[in-house]
Structure 1
Amino acid sequence: MVWLGVCSEGVTPLVILDTGTVNHQRYIDEVLPVALKYGNNVFGDDLTFQQDGAKPHTHKLSQKWCNDHFPGVIDKDHWPPNSPYLNPLDCSIWDKFVHKVNWNKAQSKKKLIAELKRAVKRIRKEVVLKSCKSWTNPGHSILAPGFRSAPGFRSGFDRNPIKSGNYRREPIGIL
C-alpha cells in the first residue's frame, strides 16, 4: 500500500507498506504518525484532518486516535460515503502523480518504490494548491454546524501499485 497526504502547502512524505494488509492498528502505528508530524510541522494547531471511509479509518480506535491527536478532524459521521469528487486527490492530484512516474523504470519492487518517491517530488506545489482551493468550498459544506475548520483543507490519497505490479486504485488513507 502506498499512502500520501496532500494539503494546501504540498505533499506529505510517502508511506510505503509493501507487505501484509492494512488494518486499523497498522494504520494507527505507521500512517497516522506521519500525517500528524507533517501536519503539525506545517500547520501547527490550525490543522484539520480528513480521511475516507476505508475500514482502517472508520474503526473506533482509529477515530479515537485521530480525535486525541489532531487539532481538528472531520470524523466518519461527517464525511459522505462514496464521495470522490469531494477529494482533490481523486479529482486531480492522483492523475498528476501518475503522469510523473516513469513506468518504464519500475521493473522491480525496489525500482518502483524509488520511482514513486521521485514522482512525489515532481508534483508542483502550484498544482496542489489549485486543487485544494477548488475543493475547499464543497468540503466546507459537509461540515457539521459549529465545526472549527482550518483554512485550506487537507486531503490525501493512496494507491497500491506494489501489490498488483501496476497502477490500480485502492483507497486506504486520506490526510
Structure 2
Amino acid sequence: MLSRNVSRCCEAHRRCRAFAVLAFGALQVESPMAACLRRCTASLRATATVASLSSDHAVLSVCKRCEHTSAIATPPGRELTTKEQIDELMDAFAEACELITDAKESVGTTYFEDDMEDAEKQTHDVLKRWESLQAALERKGTAEELQKVRNMYDLKIKQLKAELETVREAGGAG
C-alpha cells in the first residue's frame, strides 16, 4: 500500500512539475518494500523524487531539480538480459513520447525550445538504446530473436522519429 501511495505521489509531482518537499516520517516499512521505494523518478524541470529507507521508517523527499535520466546503472560485471534491455528501451520510449507531447503542447510559447531540446535528447537516447539492443542481439548470433524484436519495436521507433520531426516542423525548428 505504501509503495502505491509513493508511486501516485511521484507521478503527481511529475505531471504538475511542482517543487515541494514531502516527508513520510516514522512509517513502518518491511524490508521487501525497500526495493519498491528505491526508485528515482525524474523529468527535466521536474523534481527528483527519491525514497530512502532507514531501518524502521521511510522518508520521501524532493532533493533537487535535475536533468532527465531513465537509466539505472548495471552492477559491474553483469550484462543486461535482452528482456531488461527491452524494458529500459520501452521506459525511455514512454518518456520520449511524453516529452514530445509536452513540446507539441508548447508550440508557440516561450517554453517550446526547452521542451523540444528535451524531446530531442530523450529521442536520441531511445535511438542509442535501440541500436545497442540490435547490436547486442547480432553479437549473440540470435537472428531469430533479432528479427522478432525488430518486428515488434521497429515501427514504434520509426513513429517516434516521425512524431519528433512533425513537432519540430510545427514549431519552426526544422
Q: What TM-score, normalized by structure 1, do the two folds share? A: 0.28
* Bigger helix share: 2
Q: What TM-score, normalized by structure 2, do the two folds share? A: 0.28
Q: Which has the higher contact order (CA 8 A, sep 6+)?
A: 1
